[in-house]
């Protein structure tokens, strides 16, 4: 029994020793692992075992962990705390056999450590037991973070550079730089400040995390930077500056709504050797920025400088372009004004003006369009041959034009008369002056032509030469007559009395003829001045009728006057109007056989605002083939009635000088009606004072 218990004791001792040795070996093994080996309850977190390394890792004694189950979790960084707990609880709930996780831990000396847990889960007696290995991975983690940081920074700078070259809108570039900056160095607000004189102007600013008070609304805010040591320092050193805790910094000057700021970092913006501004970041926590971030910030500040320089260059270029644009606009409007002036002048001239290049029309003024019936547009770029049909000389058309062009090229100018064809095919005669622009050998041959319509002058010329022929003819008859009488007188002086009567008659006729001729020529030359006045027609015409009455009586004719019901006024020369009416009445009396009726009728047409004065007779009338000619000088249908053949021609000219119209309608054998149409005028206000009656009597 004793022996057996001795053996038993010995055996137990031996077993205990073996166990102890084994345990020591395990402990040595566990403690030599580069990590903390531990065993703990997954629910209560009570620590069953923990290797010595925990002391190196955390700085706390192993015993504290063994006694305080909550110590470990309390050391986990607050930001990682929740996640770490959730991973463990989830693994237990799902009955997994293990899990891994990484988190930050705060060591006894305040350092942050990155820890990785590799945990095995096993159930024993309804309890979940964790066996774990915790490794300090701080170095690897920091290297990885640094690498990520580098990558973010490189990416940030790369996209900043891309932004700068992709847009020249400065505000946009600066905003993008701030955006990129926020990704690389998180902050609560960021701003770009540029130096203006003795102040710093916030040109761009952003607030984050609801820091709106540092956001866009304080753009353009001015800071007295020369009184703020932080800015002074950056200016003098040219280097970034960190204020880790503004509350204890003597350099920090609180300004405006910046009381929330706890720490800040700024970097000067250099351009061409000067500090022109600052890139600033702020945070509402102390020591938010480190040295590395400050140098990153400087890199961004350098990008801002590039952006500003680009923008400045761009502004200079755009300013230059704007100036040019303004000058061009100004010059264009001056030229346009000049062009309008010249074209107004050219259009207002009575002569047509044509500019040609190698006989192709490049410009015509309005007058050419009026002369030819073509619109200006229809003539541009057309050959000048379209309208210029060549000379009045023997050759015409193209040959004449070639001849003309040759002369213009060689001699510089050509003057002459050409036929111009209108759009409707009709022709008018034009006096042309074609002047060369430039030298004889310049190509194309450029020339300016003035076109004067001389058709009227041509007709007038024709009329004048006709008139001279008629007048000489008409004068020759009485002169021959005179000579015959003088011859007879010399032969038979005793018949003096009889010859004197004829001589009287003949000289009287010559006098009339000469007077009429004078009238015609004066009227044609426009030298007969009209003395027009407001004239009361009824009374005026009555007086003329009264004068003609005895002649009508003598010929056995009734002369009737039908005046208008209401007084009628016209603007007329009383004497000249009397001359016309007298002429028409005399003709009517002359060409109406005895027993006939001559009527003077005044008819008002208020709608047309005119008056018609009709001289009607029941005489011999005028055949249609003569009607067109009776207003021409010396045209007479019958010669047995005495007359010069000039009366109607003079009458029509006088009426036309009054802006009126003289027309005739006639039926041979029944009679003729000559009608004068004149514009009505308002009765003058002072018609009662007798002025017009006096005029009439004049």
Q: In angstroms, what is the minimal distance from the CB of 648 to ligand ADP?
A: 3
Nearby residues of 84 by Cβ (< 8 Å), 6 or more positions away: 73, 76, 101, 103
Q: In angstroms, what is the minimal distance from the CB of 641 to ligand ADP?
A: 7
Q: Which residues inside 116-135 make contact with ligand ADP, applying CB under 6 A?
A: none
Residue number, 392 or 664, with CB nearest to ligand ADP: 664
Q: In angstroms, what is the minimal distance from the CB of 600 to ligand ADP?
A: 13
Q: In angstroms, what is the minimal distance from the CB of 626 to ligand ADP?
A: 7
Contacts 24+ apart (CB under 8 A), 117-121: 119/88, 119/91, 121/42, 121/91, 121/92, 121/95, 121/96, 121/97
Write the interaction track for ligand ADP spanning residues 585-614; mark x where CB under 6 A is met and - where it is not. --xx--x-----------------------
Q: Applying CB under 6 A, does 346 fall inside the site for ligand ADP?
A: no
Which of 636, 679, 680, 687 touches ligand ADP by CB under 6 A? 636
Q: Tokens 């003098």 map to which residue?
A: 236
CA distance 549 to 671: 19
Q: In angstroms, what is the minimal distance from the CB of 563 to ligand ADP?
A: 21
Alpha helices in 454-532 (DSSP H): 455-491, 496-525
Residue number, 421 or 463, with CB nearest to ligand ADP: 463
Q: In angstroms, what is the minimal distance from the CB of 489 to ligand ADP?
A: 29
Q: In angstroms, what is the minimal distance from the CB of 470 to ligand ADP?
A: 12
Which of 648, 662, 676, 678 touches ligand ADP by CB under 6 A? 648
E strand map for 238-395: 241-243, 263-271, 274-283, 352-357, 360-364, 388-391
DSSP letter string, 349-413: SSSEEEEEETTEEEEE-HHHHHHHS--HHHHTTSBGGGTEEEESSS--HHHHHHHHHHHHHHHSE
Q: Applying CB under 6 A, does 620 fall inside the site for ligand ADP?
A: yes
Q: Applying CB under 6 A, does 559 fall inside the site for ligand ADP?
A: no
Residue number, 227 or 670, with CB nearest to ligand ADP: 670
Residue number, 438 or 669, with CB nearest to ligand ADP: 669
Specify whether the CB–CB gap between 352 and 367 falls below 8 A. yes
Q: In angstroms, what is the minimal distance from the CB of 553 to ligand ADP?
A: 18
Residue number, 303 or 587, with CB nearest to ligand ADP: 587
Q: Which residues inside 285-314 make contact with ligand ADP, applying CB under 6 A?
A: none
Q: How many other CB atoms are there within 10 angstroms of residue 672's CB atom?
A: 24
Find, among 450, 421, 453, the residue nearest to 363 by Cα: 450
Which of 132, 200, 596, 643 touches ligand ADP by CB under 6 A? 643
Alpha carbon separation from 318 to 166, 251, 310, 365, 489 (Å, rounded) = 17, 42, 12, 41, 109
Q: In angstroms, what is the minimal distance from the CB of 650 to ligand ADP?
A: 8
Which of 75, 619, 652, 660 touches ligand ADP by CB under 6 A? 619
**Closest residue by beta carbon to ligand ADP:** 643
Which of 45, 437, 597, 637 touches ligand ADP by CB under 6 A? 637
**Which of these ranges, 71-79, 379-387, 520-528, 633-641, lies near ligand ADP under the rule CB under 6 A?**
633-641
Write the interaction track for ligand ADP spanning residues 194-223; mark x where CB under 6 A is met and - where it is not. ------------------------------
Q: Is 192 left (phi over 0), alpha (psi -120 to 50) or beta?
A: beta
Q: Applying CB under 6 A, does 192 fall inside the site for ligand ADP?
A: no
**Which of these ranges, 29-37, 242-250, 264-272, 646-654, lies near ligand ADP under the rule CB under 6 A?**
646-654
Alpha carbon separation from 339 to 132, 396, 641, 660 (Å, rounded) = 97, 35, 64, 40
Q: In angstroms, what is the minimal distance from the CB of 402 to ligand ADP?
A: 49
Residue number, 268 or 645, with CB nearest to ligand ADP: 645
CA distance 157 to 140: 26
Find, among 598, 597, 618, 604, the residue nearest to 544 by Cα: 598
Q: In angstroms, what is the minimal distance from the CB of 483 to ligand ADP?
A: 24
Q: Applying CB under 6 A, does 645 fall inside the site for ligand ADP?
A: yes
Q: Applying CB under 6 A, does 450 fall inside the site for ligand ADP?
A: no
Beta strand 98-106 pairing with 222-223: unpaired
Find, among 429, 486, 427, 416, the residue nearest to 459 by Cα: 429
Alpha carbon separation from 597 to 165, 559, 637, 671 (Å, rounded) = 106, 6, 21, 10
Residue number, 194 or 523, with CB nearest to ligand ADP: 523
**Which of these ranges, 401-409, 604-612, 631-639, 679-687, lies near ligand ADP under the rule CB under 6 A?**
631-639
Specify whether the CB–CB gap between 625 and 586 falls below 8 A. no
Q: In angstroms, what is the minimal distance from the CB of 478 to ligand ADP?
A: 14
How many residues would you count in the chain?
A: 698
Q: Tokens 């055949």 map to which residue?
A: 623
Q: How many other CB atoms are there within 10 angstroms of residue 190's CB atom?
A: 25
Specify whether the CB–CB gap between 225 and 195 falls below 8 A. yes
CA distance 532 to 266: 97
**Which of these ranges, 48-56, 94-102, 218-226, 636-644, lies near ligand ADP under the rule CB under 6 A?**
636-644
Which of 29, 638, 670, 686 touches ligand ADP by CB under 6 A? 638
Q: In angstroms, what is the minimal distance from the CB of 467 to ligand ADP?
A: 13
Q: In angstroms, what is the minimal distance from the CB of 643 to ligand ADP?
A: 2
Q: Which residues inside 669-688 make contact with ligand ADP, applying CB under 6 A?
A: 672
Specify whether the CB–CB gap between 663 and 506 falls below 8 A. no
Specify whether the CB–CB gap between 401 and 416 falls below 8 A. no
Q: How many other CB atoms are there within 10 angstroms of residue 6's CB atom?
A: 10
Q: In angstroms, what is the minimal distance from the CB of 639 to ligand ADP?
A: 8
Residue number, 242 or 646, with CB nearest to ligand ADP: 646
**Which of these ranges, 138-146, 340-348, 402-410, 617-625, lies near ligand ADP under the rule CB under 6 A?**
617-625
Which of 311, 585, 622, 655 touches ligand ADP by CB under 6 A? 622
- Tell me: cis bond preceding 444? Omega within 30 of 0 counts: yes
**What is the CB-side half-sphere exposure of residue 265 using CA atoms within 13 A?**
26
Residue number, 240 or 619, with CB nearest to ligand ADP: 619
**Which of these ranges, 195-203, 484-492, 559-567, 637-645, lies near ligand ADP under the rule CB under 6 A?**
637-645
Beta bridge partners of 678: 611
Instruction: Return the sign of the alpha-carbon dihedral for residues 674, 678, 683, 689.
Output: negative
Which of 187, 647, 653, 662 touches ligand ADP by CB under 6 A? 647
Q: In angstroms, what is the minimal distance from the CB of 529 to ligand ADP?
A: 23
Residue number, 322 or 656, with CB nearest to ligand ADP: 656
How big is the site for ligand ADP, counted in residues (CB under 6 A)?
21
Instruction: Provide the binding-site residues for ligand ADP, judged by CB under 6 A.
Output: 587-588, 591, 617, 619-622, 630, 635-638, 643-649, 672
């Amino acid at each position: 029994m004793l022996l057996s218990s001795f053996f038993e004791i010995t055996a137990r001792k031996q077993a205990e020793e073996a166990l102890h040795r084994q345990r020591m070996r395990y402990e040595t093994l566990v403690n030599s692992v580069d990590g903390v080996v531990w065993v703990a309850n997954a629910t209560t977190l009570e620590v069953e075992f923990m290797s010595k390394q925990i002391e190196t890792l955390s700085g706390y004694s192993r015993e504290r962990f063994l006694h305080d189950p909550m110590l470990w979790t309390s050391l986990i960084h607050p930001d990682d705390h929740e996640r770490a707990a959730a991973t463990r609880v989830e693994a237990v709930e799902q009955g997994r056999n293990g899990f891994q996780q990484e988190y930050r831990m705060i060591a006894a000396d305040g350092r942050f450590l990155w820890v990785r847990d590799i945990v095995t889960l096993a159930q024993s007696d309804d309890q979940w037991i964790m066996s774990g290995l915790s490794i300090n991975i701080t170095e690897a983690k920091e290297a990885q973070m640094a690498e990520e940081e580098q990558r973010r920074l490189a990416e940030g700078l790369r996209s900043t550079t891309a932004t700068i070259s992709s847009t020249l809108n400065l505000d946009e570039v600066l905003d993008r730089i701030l955006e990129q900056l926020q990704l690389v160095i998180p902050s609560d607000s960021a701003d770009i400040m540029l130096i203006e004189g003795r102040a710093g102007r916030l040109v761009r600013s952003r607030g984050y995390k609801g820091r709106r008070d540092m956001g866009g609304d304080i753009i353009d805010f001015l800071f007295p930077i020369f009184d703020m040591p932080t800015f002074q320092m950056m200016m003098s050193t040219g280097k970034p500056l960190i204020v880790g805790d503004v509350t204890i910094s003597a350099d920090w000057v609180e300004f405006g709504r910046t009381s929330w700021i706890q720490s800040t970092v700024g970097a000067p913006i250099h351009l061409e050797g000067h500090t022109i501004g600052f890139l600033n970041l702020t945070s509402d926590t102390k020591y938010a920025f480190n040295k590395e971030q400050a140098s990153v910030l400087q890199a961004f500040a350098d990008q801002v400088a590039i952006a500003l320089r680009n923008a400045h260059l761009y502004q200079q270029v755009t300013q230059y372009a704007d100036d040019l644009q303004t000058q061009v606009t100004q010059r264009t409007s001056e030229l346009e004004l000049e062009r309008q002036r010249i074209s107004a002048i050219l259009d207002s001239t009575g002569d047509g003006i044509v500019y040609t290049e190698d006989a192709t029309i490049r410009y015509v003024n309005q007058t050419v369009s009026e002369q030819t019936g073509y619109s200006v547009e229809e003539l541009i770029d057309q050959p000048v041959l379209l309208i210029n049909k060549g000379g009045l000389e023997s050759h015409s058309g193209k040959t004449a034009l070639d001849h003309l062009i040759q002369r213009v090229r060689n001699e510089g100018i050509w003057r002459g008369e050409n036929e111009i064809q209108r759009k409707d095919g009709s022709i008018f005669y034009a006096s042309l002056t074609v002047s060369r622009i430039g030298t004889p050998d310049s190509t194309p041959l450029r020339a300016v032509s003035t076109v004067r319509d001389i058709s009227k002058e041509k007709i007038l010329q024709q009329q004048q030469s006709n008139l001279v022929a008629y007048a000489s003819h008409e004068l020759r008859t009485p002169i021959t007559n005179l000579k015959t009488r003088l011859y007879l007188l010399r032969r038979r002086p005793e018949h003096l009395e009889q010859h004197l009567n004829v001589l009287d008659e003949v000289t009287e006729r010559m006098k009339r003829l000469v007077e009429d001729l004078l009238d015609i020529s004066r009227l044609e030359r426009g030298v007969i001045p009209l003395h027009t006045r407001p004239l009361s027609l009824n009374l005026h015409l009555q007086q003329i009728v009264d004068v003609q009455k005895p002649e009508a009586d003598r010929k056995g004719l009734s002369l009737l006057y039908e005046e208008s019901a209401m007084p009628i006024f016209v603007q007329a020369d009383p004497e000249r109007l009397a001359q016309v009416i007298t002429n028409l009445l005399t003709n009517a009396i002359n060409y109406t056989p005895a027993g006939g009726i001559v009527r003077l009728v005044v008819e008002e047409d208020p709608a047309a605002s005119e008056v018609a004065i009709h001289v009607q007779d029941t005489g011999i009338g005028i055949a249609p083939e003569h009607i067109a000619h009776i207003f021409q000088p010396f045209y007479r249908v019958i010669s047995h009635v005495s007359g010069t053949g000039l009366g109607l021609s003079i009458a029509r000219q006088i009426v036309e000088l009054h802006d009126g119209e003289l027309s005739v309608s006639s039926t041979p054998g029944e009679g003729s009606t000559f009608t004068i149409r004149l514009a009505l005028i308002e009765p003058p206000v002072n018609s009662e004072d007798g002025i017009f009656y006096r005029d009439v009597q004049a």
